């Protein structure tokens, strides 16, 4: 019997191995066949298509469409886009240091970065760029202008702008532009606040330095780490940041993929500098990837209280592989898991619906996990905060005022009339000044339409098609009358929200990025709640 069992097992192993080999051979055959078909098809197009084909564009289109079938993060990086990819990982580039945008047909400076060439040469928000190195900008994209402004540090670029009807020419020496990951730090009632905007290759060093500086000047009773709208970046930096707050050797994130031999668990490599300081991490729906690793690890380890709204849910790991001719493929190779075992990924790109759309994981299919102290947390994508705050809603009127550059243009005119304003902590945008803004809008003949009116028109069209237009005519007329926006009335109803946006834009013009953040934090519910939690815990 024993011999018979051994023989049967051996036969099964051989049979299973044969089936596996056959499956592999079939798969390799399909890959080889389809590549041959593609090569043959492309060759035929090149020889016989009625017009000369653009080979580069056509192949790029084929590559992009192929990768779109997978997930948004698996992308082709040609040599021409390599600098942009390097900027994402280092935060460095050669240029003038200004954020630009398109307004109508014009390219404008949205904001110069403080202490960088554009600001040092007195380029200002609202300036319209008309020429670069003698070349007039006409029908030029933001991307093209950005490339024209970039270049080797030490080189001179000539920039002509129009301001208040005058043409101004500047010769600007390009510098190495370093966008810091820590873009603001401060202390509020003995509680430190640090905002981290990305996970570049120096972000953990910057965070450690900022925390050390805050501690040197203050007796900190707690720390707020702001990861809101932080899109993530390098995983090693996320691990290094966790190292600042948890014991050496603590597992903070795991990667698991198709190849189990490449699975990896990341542990902290250094002793923490603040192992017990009360910690709150702020997150929102745009906190992604490495931000979620930090928030998820500190939550699972019961090291921090997470405050805000559910995070983005990007738990896919990418690695970069060379594919020849200095081109690269950024390919998804694994998924992230927090210390409790939760998967961060929210959208299932492998299983799609009948329309080809990726599915979100429903709440009914999520699972419970336990933190270090036994608290229940769930997977299903993203990190659910311990203290949930509603995402601020964008009002229709404020959206139009921002999208149509009305607040931006008003502040540009405001700056020309006011050479300086009060220090940022004392600055107040007054009700009297708001009356000037309303006059400005009247001059610009500002009107807007409610989103509900647009939806109502669609509903009327559908009802008309279904043959019930006459039956509902009176009701629609009454509803349309009620939904008719009253601009003057709405400017008063939403005065607080609009004044807040105006004051933030003004602060940015005079005190640049730090001024914008400081002004924003005056109205910030997340910071208020974080300080409340830390102070409450201190009193227990």
DSSP assignment of 97-149: -EEEEEETTEEEEEEEPTTSHHHHTT--TTPEEEEETTEE-SS--HHHHHHHH
What is the mean pLDDT of the segment spanning 300-308? 98
- What pLDDT does 24 receive? 64
Collapsing DSSP states into helix, strand and coil, what is residue 350?
Answer: strand
For 498-515, what is each residue's pLDDT tens digit? 999 999 999 999 999 999
Is 300 annotated in the active site?
Answer: yes
Catalytic residue among 71, 226, 300, 524: 300
- Residue partners of 220: CB distance under 8 A and separation at least 6: 187, 190, 191, 192, 214, 277
Q: State CA 108 to chain mean position distance.
A: 22
DSSP state of 233: B
Catalytic residue among 289, 291, 309, 503: 289
Q: Does the pLDDT value for residue 5 go beyond 70?
A: no
Instruction: Tell me which residue has tokens 């805050």.
Output: 214
Is 141 annotated in the active site?
Answer: no
Mean predicted lDDT score pLDDT of the chain: 91
Looking at the domain that runs over 92-178, which CATH code has it been given?
A: 2.30.42.10
- Do residues 311 and 284 lie in contact, with contact meaning Cβ atoms separated by under 8 Å? yes
Instruction: Tell me which residue has tokens 């009700």.
Output: 431
Q: Quickly state the pLDDT bin for 353 (edges 50, 70, 90).
A: confident
CATH architecture designation of domain 182-391: Alpha-Beta Complex (3.90)
- What pLDDT does 359 receive? 79
Q: Does the pLDDT value for residue 427 go beyond 90?
A: yes
Q: Does the pLDDT value for residue 347 go beyond 80?
A: yes
Is 289 annotated in the active site?
Answer: yes
Q: Which is more confident, 412 or 92? A: 412
236: closest CA among 279, 199, 286? 199
What is the mean pLDDT of the segment spanning 222-244? 97
- Do residues 385 and 291 lie in contact, with contact meaning Cβ atoms separated by under 8 Å? no
Question: pTM score, two decimals?
Answer: 0.89
Pairing status of strand 327-337 against strand 75-77: antiparallel
Domain boundaries of the chain, sorted by first residue: 2-53, 92-178, 182-391, 396-448+485-536
Q: Quickly state the pLDDT bin for 12 (edges 50, 70, 90).
A: low
Tokens of 182: 């820590």
Please tell me the least confidently modeled range out of 285-294, 367-376, 392-401, 418-427. Answer: 392-401
Catalytic residue among 208, 314, 499, 529: 314
Give the bridge partners for 329, in sequence order: 76, 321
Collapsing DSSP states into helix, strand and coil, what is residue 513?
Answer: helix
282: closest CA among 43, 538, 19, 517? 517
b/e burial code for range 63-87 (CB count within 10 A of at least 16 → b): beeebeeebeebbbbeeeeeeeeeb
- C-alpha to C-alpha distance for 527 and 291, rounded to whole angstroms: 17
Angle between helical axes of 406-417 and 396-403 (0-180°, round to 10): 60
Q: Does the pLDDT value for residue 18 go beyond 80?
A: no
């Amino acid at each position: 019997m024993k011999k018979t069992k051994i023989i049967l097992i051996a036969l099964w192993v051989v049979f299973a191995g044969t089936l596996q080999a056959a499956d592999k051979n079939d798969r390799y055959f399909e890959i080889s066949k389809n590549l041959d078909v593609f090569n043959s098809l492309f060759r035929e197009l090149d020889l016989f298509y009625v017009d000369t084909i653009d080979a580069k564009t056509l192949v790029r289109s084929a590559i992009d469409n192929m990768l779109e079938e997978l997930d948004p993060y698996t992308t082709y990086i040609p040599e021409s886009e390599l600098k942009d990819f390097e900027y994402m990982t280092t935060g460095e580039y050669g240029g003038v240091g200004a954020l630009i945008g398109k307004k109508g047909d014009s390219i404008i400076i949205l904001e110069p970065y403080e202490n960088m060439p554009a600001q040092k040469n007195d380029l200002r928000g609202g300036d319209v760029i008309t020429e670069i190195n003698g070349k007039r900008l006409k029908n030029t994209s933001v991307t093209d202008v950005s490339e024209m402004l970039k270049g080797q540090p030490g080189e001179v670029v000539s920039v002509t702008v129009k301001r208040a009807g005058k043409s101004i020419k500047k010769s600007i020496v390009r510098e190495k532009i370093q966008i810091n990951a820590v873009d603001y730090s401060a202390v509020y009632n003995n509680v430190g606040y640090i905002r981290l905007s990305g996970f570049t290759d120096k972000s953990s060093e910057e965070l450690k330095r900022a925390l050390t500086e805050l501690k040197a000047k203050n007796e900190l009773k707690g720390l707020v780490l702001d990861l809101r709208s932080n899109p993530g970046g390098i995983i090693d930096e996320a691990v290094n940041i966790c190292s600042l707050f948890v014991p050496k050797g603590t597992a903070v994130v795991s990667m698991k993929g198709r190849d189990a031999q490449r699975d990896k668990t990341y542990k902290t490599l250094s002793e923490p500098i603040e192992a017990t300081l009360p910690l709150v991490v702020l997150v929102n729906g745009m906190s992604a990837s490495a931000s979620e690793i930090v928030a998820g690890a500190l939550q699972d380890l019961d090291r921090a209280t997470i405050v805000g709204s559910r995070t983005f849910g990007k738990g896919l790991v990418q690695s970069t592989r060379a594919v020849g001719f200095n081109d690269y493929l950024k390919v998804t190779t694994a998924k992230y898991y927090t210390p409790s075992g939760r998967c961060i990924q929210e959208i299932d790109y492998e299983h799609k619906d009948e329309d080809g759309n990726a599915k979100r994981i429903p709440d009914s299919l999520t699972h419970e996990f336990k933190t270090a102290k036994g608290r229940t947390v769930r997977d299903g994508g993203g990190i659910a905060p311990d203290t949930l705050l509603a995402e601020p809603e964008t009002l229709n009127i404020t959206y139009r005022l921002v999208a149509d550059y009305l607040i931006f243009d008003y502040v540009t005119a405001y700056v020309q009339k006011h050479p300086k304003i009060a220090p940022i902590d004392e600055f107040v945008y007054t009700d009297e000044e708001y009356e000037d803004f309303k006059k400005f809008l009247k001059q610009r003949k500002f009107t807007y339409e409610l989103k509900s009116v647009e939806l109502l028109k669609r509903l009327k069209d559908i009802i008309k098609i279904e043959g019930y237009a006459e039956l509902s005519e009176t009701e629609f007329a009454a509803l349309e009358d009620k939904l008719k926006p009253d601009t003057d009335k709405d400017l008063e109803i939403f005065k607080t929200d609009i004044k807040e946006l105006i004051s933030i834009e003004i602060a940015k013009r005079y005190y640049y990025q730090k001024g914008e953040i400081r002004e924003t934090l005056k109205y910030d519910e997340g910071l208020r709640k974080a300080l409340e939690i830390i102070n409450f815990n201190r009193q227990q």
